[in-house]
Copies of this chain bind each other. A is one copy, B any other.
């Protein structure tokens, strides 16, 4: 299929590479053109603009924030001036912005699926991302054959914005859980337990999770290198969650957000030092 991919960074790069490997024709565009090189080597076509990347049937976006997304979609050289009739957006933005962009694209006869991802760079490389989608049923089914090269799971969660809202739910769980794991590690250490054994000892039980195995292990051994994520990034997600659901009190997520706010840009596993 003739596809376009806009935003070929840490996540978008390996995702676009998987589409090429699957035999699709992919036109790529990135704000920093140097990042395109590895994809061009794999046979991608270098697009001159977001509009040029949108000459195929479907164009995908994976950019930093909603400002960047608005620009690649609606600027003078934006996607709206291309031929693609479906945009799949893998960026993480506010649900309200996804709904707004969906409306503006719809006016031009273009569908938008908001499809933020979970699973990190490793998931992007292996095609095992978990992708939560919002949008019209027909648009999501049109997106599915393409997305299945990238994800182990691609679930329609509701109308436009519901994918982004689900990503916020995901972050509420993960961000709060990481703060909880710090407390469990500190409790273990204070009570004569070998905390480095916690991930293995609790594996397969009710307390087990990927964050326990990854972040819990790093906390117990005070391993903060290489950095996995900054507390400030998680804080942004938790603050967005609070804004997205103004009627929902979320005392647990708020307590976690308060801790991350004090941590600034520190590696998030250092939360084990920030809880006393």
Q: Which residues of A contact B (CB under 8 A)?
A: 95, 118-119, 128, 130, 132, 134, 152-153, 155, 157-159, 161-162, 165-166, 168-170, 172-174, 176-177, 179-181, 183-188, 190-194, 197-198, 200-212, 241, 244-245, 247-253, 255-256, 258-259, 275-276
Contacts and interface: CB of A to CB of B under 8 A. Distances in A.
Given A158-B194, A170-B202, A183 B248 contact: yes
Given A165-B188, A173-B206, 7 more contacts: A158-B194, A159-B192, A162-B191, A168-B191, A169-B202, A170-B206, A209-B209
B210 A205 contact: yes
A46 B6 CA distance: 73
Copies of this chain present: 2
Contacts of A205: 118-119, 130, 153, 170, 210
A193 B157 contact: yes
A212 B207 CA distance: 11
What DSSP secondary structure best describes chain A's contact surface?
helix
Given A205-B130, A206-B174, A169 B157 contact: no
A206 B211 CA distance: 6
Contacts of A187: 165, 168-169, 172, 241, 244-245, 248, 250
A153 B187 CA distance: 21
A95 B191 contact: yes
A153 B168 CA distance: 34
B248 A186 contact: yes
A258 B258 CA distance: 18
A186 B174 CA distance: 16
A180 B190 contact: no
A193 B162 contact: yes
B153 A166 contact: no
B210 A210 contact: no
B201 A210 contact: no
Contacts of A202: 118, 130, 132, 166, 169-170, 173
